Structure 1
Amino acid sequence: MTPIQGKPITPEFLAGCAAKASVSDRLVSGILSNHTPDSALLNPLPPNAHTWSLQLDNWKATSQASSGRCWLFALSNLMRGK
């Protein structure tokens, strides 16, 4: 097996890498410099944490009067908010 011959790591090489780093590269580098890979991969949210991107007002539901059209009324309740 032939060993891999590489160039030495110089300050110029490191500066070039830093200049090419994207925002996500810098984010990952910052995370891994402060945490072990195992702890960085843990999900910090509790298992039943609910997160939504849209907060709705407290609406009253439309009465269906036992008509069986629940999906249409559910859609109309959602459309009212837009």
Structure 2
Amino acid sequence: MSKVFARNLLFNKQVMATDGTEIGTLSNIVVEIKGGNIIDLMVTPNVNLDTSRYKKVDNYILVPFDSVSAVKDYIIIDKMKAKE
């Protein structure tokens, strides 16, 4: 994915898979300190989402940033890349 500006990653933005599945809501991001690259999105999962195949931290799932395919009204991710 090309560069994404932080202002486009507004917190509380909905995260959705390319197949239309609602993943959840963006709560925070994990950033590499040295380079400033975004590593993961911390997402509050949708209550109906099966989170068993995602990495979890507390009540959040971690979605690798390289699974993001678009950032517009929603953050669109590729579910296959996002799962462990």
Higher relative helix content: 1
- Which structure exhibits the higher relative contact order, with contacts defined as CA atoms closer than 8 Å and separated by 6 or more residues? 2
TM-score relative to the length of structure 1 = 0.21
Higher relative strand content: 2
Query: Which one has the largest radius of gyration?
Result: 1
TM-score relative to the length of structure 2 = 0.20
